Each structure stands twice: as structure tokens, then as C-alpha cells.
Amino acid sequence: MTEPLNEPEQAGFEESLEELYEQAPCGYVSTRPDGTFARVNQTFLTWTGYGRAELLGARRFQDLLTGGGRIFYETHMLPLLSLQGRVQELAFEIVCQDGRRLPVFLNSVQKRDPAGAAVLIRTTIVDASERRAYEREIQAARRAAEEALQVRDHFMSRAAHELRTPLTALMGNIELLQRRAARDQAFPARDLGTLQRAIDQVNRLSAIVHSLLDVSRIQSGQLVVELAPLDLCALIRRIVAEYQAALVDRQVVLDCAPPSALIRGDALRLEQAFLNLLHNASHYSAPPAPISVAIRALAGQVCVDIADQGIGIPASAIPHLFQRFYRADNALAQRIGGLGIGLYMARQIIDLHGGSIAVASSERQGSTFTVCLPAAPPA
Ligand code: ADP
């Protein structure tokens, strides 16, 4: 069977091998074991501006490298080449005839005689200018994105600090009015209701401001927990009872298997984390579906499951869920409000306790968040 012809031969012309070598889209260089040029192609000469006579037998390949490149060539590339017989994709800069630096990638193979002694190094040289420019662009874009994030975080922290003072003053004034109204009994019931709604809204605002301040604390490494012995069962019972009191249209079902579960924790911060999970369970599911909370004691750990029968979380969102400001697509699509801070905070708080937080969820079926904390060693 005859070999199939290459395309140019089929088309009726033969490509000259010499031309193929000389005009290849990459540089070809053959050097003796000491680096002296033995052969170069025209592409390499065009790129670097050297004449053939300036290189062949007159210069060594490493003479065309920068200082650092020359050291790398001698201490890394040559030993690797004699060990493996080939090297690939090594980045260098070639100093051209006019002093310009040409970024390149080298692929070299070592040719040996039958006795195994190196006789020649054949090197293919690829112009990396475009790739380097592209890498520089990516780096610049990354720097710009990081700077934008810094500006955002800085602004958020400043805004939260600036909002705190007027909010405290506003709250003080509304509460004063409320006390006066109660004392003088001069306000109609309708205005008392308006006052109470104003207090609720200011409380919501200050909860948001506190969350933003907590985020800045985490970023500056200032979020700390004060660990003390506490009974997680008692804490969760209290949190659930208080939360239930504010829920009119659904049940929070608590299953607390162990009578008590001692851990070392910061009660205030843990309350913040668990309240957040409870709030999410009710925020992302519709009444009257119940929310269930179960406490289990495992080997050396106490775990709390908080489960809902709500919108669930898309699988693609799970890896990002605990990142700050992240919100899953289904929550956004259904226009359910939120800042994407709660789970980030919960994760940080649980981490500071040496615990873990995980989620199992199916879309339109519901989600279960599980927090595990190390049990306190027996006294
Ligand atoms: P927020 O609820 O304010 O957006 P979180 O950090 O508490 O912020 O939650 C981040 C995202 O995780 C939410 O926006 C939502 O997409 C998703 N999520 C959290 N808890 C639940 C839940 N119980 N059910 C469905 N999605 C949830």
C-alpha cells in the first residue's frame, strides 16, 4: 500500500524542506554542547536582528540571554537537558541585536552519539510577546478588580461607621417620645402604633449596620470570640423559644436529644450565627411549613441541624454560599431580599469556635444547615 501524499504534493507542488526550516513560524537553533551556534533559521535571525555570521561559530546561545536567564540556562536548563534529554516550555528573554528583549519559550532536545555523549542541542523558539502581553493584561485586570473590591469594602466600612451615630440618636429620640407618650397618655393609639413601627424599622436598619460593621471587623481580623463553658442545648432552646414567639404562622419544631451539651463558646456570637440560620430557614420557605431544629451529640462533637422545606439551593451555588455578599440565583430570581452577609458571618463565627458548618439542599425541596462544635472535654 502506498503512503497517502501530503496536501501540497497532491496539489502539484513540493514544499522545499529548506524553506520549511528557514521560514518556519518559530525559531530553530542548533548549538554545540558548549552553546556555540551551529545552525539557525531565518525566522530566528529576523526576530533577533542578528546576521548569520554574527552567530555561527562566533557566539554561544547563552550569550544572547539576560544575566538571570544565563544563570538559569546553566544551572537548570542544561542539567535538566542532560538528565531528561529534553526540556519544554522554558521561559527566557533573548537580548536582540539592538538591545530589545524578546520574550520566548524554549523547547530543546539533546542529540547524542552512539556512545551516549551529547553532540548537539536542537532548540525550537516560540515568540511569547503576545502571550506575555496577554498575561500582563490579565494581571492588570486582576489588580483593577482587587482595587475595586478594596474601594467597595472601604466605602462599606465608612458608610456603616457614619450611619451608626445618627441611627443611635434617632433611636434614642423615638424611644424618648414613646416613653413620654406612655407617661402623658397624650398620644392617640394610631400614633403609638406608628411610633412602634418606626422603632421596628430603626432596629432593622441598625441590624444591617451592625452586620456591615462585623464584615469590616472580619476583614481587618478584629472579630474575636470569648469562649466560656456553655450548654448548647439551653442556648438553642432559648433562641428557638424567642424566635417562635415572633412567628405567628408557623412552628419551629425542636428535637433536643441530649439533656445538655457542654461546649466552650461565645454565647452572643453563637446566638447571632444560629439566629441567622433560623431567619434564613423562615425567609427562604413559605408558611405554614415548619422549621425543624435538632441537636445531636456525636463523638466529641455537638451538631445542630436547622432544616426547612423551602426554595432550596442550586447545586452550583453551594460552593460559593459562605462567601461574603454571595446570593444564589434562585433567591435573586424570586426577588427575595437579602445582603449575602449572614452565612459568611455564621461561617466565621463557627470557624472561630473550631467547628464546621455545612449544607445539604435540593431545589424546591428544602435545605438543612448543620453546625458542629467541639464538645467541651469532661471536667
Ligand atoms: P441573605 O439571606 O441576606 O442573602 P445569607 O448570607 O444569609 O444572606 O445567605 C446567602 C444566600 O444563601 C442567600 O441569598 C440565599 O441565596 C442562600 N440561602 C441561605 N439560606 C438559605 C435557605 N435556608 N434556603 C435557601 N437558600 C438559602
Q: Give tens-digit pLDDT for 67-116.
A: 999 999 999 999 999 999 999 999 999 999 999 999 999 999 999 999 98
- Please tell me whether residue 24 adopts helix, strand or coil conformation: coil
Ligand 1 pocket mutation, candidates 280, 283, 357, criterion most atoms within 8 A of CB? 280
Tell me the pLDDT tens digit for each residue of 204-233.
999 999 999 999 999 889 999 999 999 999
Q: How far apart are CA 106 and CA 239, in angstroms?
A: 65
Decide if 7-127 and 228-374 have a common fold: no
191 pLDDT tier (thresholds 50, 70, 90): confident
Q: Which CATH superfamily is domain 7-127 in?
A: PAS domain (3.30.450.20)
Helix ranges, the chain (H): 7-10, 17-22, 42-48, 52-55, 67-72, 78-84, 129-184, 189-219, 232-246, 267-283, 329-333, 342-352
The domain ranges of the chain are 7-127, 133-219, 228-374
Ligand 1 pocket mutation, candidates 204, 274, 284, 348, criterion most atoms within 8 A of CB? 284
Tell me the pLDDT tens digit for each residue of 329-376.
999 999 999 999 999 999 999 999 999 999 999 999 999 999 999 999
273 CB less than 6 Å from ligand 1?
Answer: no
Atom 23 of ligand 1, nearest CA residue: 281
- Please tell me whether residue 97 adopts helix, strand or coil conformation: coil
pLDDT at 320: 96
Q: Is the pLDDT of residue 5 over 80?
A: no
Helix axes 129-184, 189-219, angle to 10 degrees: 150
302 Cβ partners below 8 Å, 6+ apart? 232, 258, 261, 263, 295, 296, 372, 373, 375
47 CB less than 6 Å from ligand 1?
Answer: no
Q: How far apart are CA 14 and CA 370, in angstroms?
A: 71
pLDDT at 232: 96
- The backbone region for 308, taken as left when phi is positive above 0, alpha when psi lies in -120 to 50, beta otherwise, is beta
270 CB less than 6 Å from ligand 1?
Answer: no
**CATH fit for domain 228-374, picks 3.30.450.40, 3.40.50.10710, 3.40.640.10, 3.30.565.10:** 3.30.565.10
- Looking at ligand 1, which atom is closest to the CA of residue 328? 16
Smallest CA-to-CA distance from 342 within 363, 359, 362 is with 359
Atom 10 of ligand 1, nearest CA residue: 340
Identity of residue 295 = I
Ligand 1 pocket mutation, candidates 327, 335, 344, criterion most atoms within 8 A of CB? 327
Q: How far is the CA of 130 from the centre of ligand 1 (A)?
A: 43
Which has more pLDDT, 71 or 15?
A: 71
Atom 19 of ligand 1, nearest CA residue: 280
- In percent, the amount of the chain with pLDDT more than 70 equals 96
1 pLDDT tier (thresholds 50, 70, 90): very low
**CATH fit for domain 133-219, picks 2.60.120.10, 2.40.110.10, 1.10.287.130, 1.20.1270.10:** 1.10.287.130
185 pLDDT tier (thresholds 50, 70, 90): confident
310 CB less than 6 Å from ligand 1?
Answer: yes
284 CB less than 6 Å from ligand 1?
Answer: yes
Q: How far apart are CA 252 and CA 292, in angstroms?
A: 6
Residue written as grid cell 525550537: 124
The end-to-end CA distance of the chain, in Å, is 87
Tell me the pLDDT tens digit for each residue of 313-333.
999 999 999 999 999 999 999
Atom 14 of ligand 1, nearest CA residue: 327
- Looking at ligand 1, which atom is closest to the CA of residue 326? 10
